[in-house]
Amino acid sequence: MTSRIEEARARKSSGKYNCAQAVACSYASLTGLDEESLRNATNAYGTGMGNLEGTCGALVGAGAVIGLATGDRIKAMQAMKRIMGRFGERNSTVVCRPPWTRRSTCSAASSAPMPPSRLPAG
């Protein structure tokens, strides 16, 4: 069985999903929303928050999943803080880096979300 991380990586690599979409759609079953709704909701978060090289889209996608999965603002914020900390440690930043400053493939979609078993109970 393919892990959700591998699924997110494959979606991003297909060129049909931005990082936020790849992460959110790979975790759709945790949210109560269908994949198309999540994909549409995360349309604008490619190449770092609105295509402006801001917060990494994979983190935005993870945040959307966490908020929907927990249904609790405080728990979601705490989980997102942990994820952003880990992501920053792994990638040296939480900001999307322009393609010319990073490796040829973005590792973000494979490192942003927290495994479902680690999500706070909601």
pLDDT tens for the chain, residues 1 to 122: 579 999 999 999 999 999 999 999 999 999 999 999 999 999 988 877 766 778 888 999 999 999 999 999 999 999 999 999 998 898 888 888 755 455 544 555 444 444 444 444 44
Among residues 64, 62, 67, the alpha carbon closest in space to that of 41 is found at 64
pLDDT of residue 114: 46
Cα-based angle 112, 49, 9 (whole degrees, multiple of 5): 35
Q: Residue 106 in contact with residue 53, Cβ under 8 Å?
A: no
Both tokens assigned to 29? 């079953």
pLDDT of residue 98: 53
